[in-house]
A and B are shown apart, each in its own frame.
Chain A
């Protein structure tokens, strides 16, 4: 079974530029998550999708971050314009369960490391 795929693995941009990250979850997984992991910290949830609908985006800085999962499969996270404090690893995860059914386990991709100069 293929795991969660993410691209690009690394990206370096200047502040105020834009960047997009792509994620393809494990086939059949209904729930998809984007996390931000700043160096030395644990993953922080940005947005959670169930199929193609948003379940939770309360921690997403909507003035600069956007995310979509149009067909309920793969997803794109965009940052525009980027700030220095956006330097982090952006993790995509998926799970087979639906939000609230408590099945639990998250399957993570290897992450996309963003450096903003």
Chain B
């Protein structure tokens, strides 16, 4: 079945540091890929998405590129802010079944 694996260890960075959160997936067919973010006390919300190979999703300074050859969708940001502190979830959508599968989330803490 479909699965998503993302780095589970919490990430702690200083403000303005470079961020990478790794995400790899296993899926049949051609899934769409997503990053969702959950800020403290709030529900999950879409951060960015990519629907086909080599697409780059971007939003709020975050970027991720759909790499079919490595089955990856790593999240990056060049300069993080304290307000980026949140839990980040990588997810895929099986477009045949209309079913989304999530990774276990990565907690990011940015210190001033």
Q: Which residues of A contact B (CB under 8 A)?
A: 3-4, 31, 33, 40-45, 48, 50, 55-56, 91, 93, 97-102, 104-111
Question: Is there contact, CB below 8 Å, between A56 and B99?
Answer: yes
B102 surroundings in chain A (CB, below 8 A):
42-44
Question: Is there contact, CB below 8 Å, between B104 and A104?
Answer: no
Question: Is there contact, CB below 8 Å, between B93 and A42?
Answer: no
Given A40-B104, A42-B105, A55-B98: A104 touches B42 (CB 8 Å cut-off): no
Which 5 residue pairs are nearest across A and B when measured between Cβ atoms? A99-B98, A42-B102, A102-B95, A108-B43, A100-B98
Question: Is there contact, CB below 8 Å, between B98 and A43?
Answer: no
- The stretch of B12-20, B44-52, B68-76 that contacts the partner chain: B44-52
B105 surroundings in chain A (CB, below 8 A):
40-42
A104 surroundings in chain B (CB, below 8 A):
32, 34, 49, 51, 93
Query: B100 contacts the other chain (Cβ, under 8 Å)?
Result: yes
Q: In the complex, which residues 65-112 of chain B have their Cβ closer than 8 Å to any Cβ of chain A?
A: 89, 91, 93, 95-105
Given A102-B32, A111-B43: A48 touches B99 (CB 8 Å cut-off): yes
Q: Which residues of B contact A (CB under 8 A)?
A: 4, 32, 34, 36, 42-46, 49, 51, 89, 91, 93, 95-105
Q: Report how far A31 CA is from B98 CA in the complex, Å.
A: 10
Question: Is there contact, CB below 8 Å, between B104 and A45?
Answer: no
Q: Report how far A4 CA is from B105 CA in the complex, Å.
A: 22
Residue among B51, B89, B96, B99 making CB contact with A42, cutoff 8 Å: B89
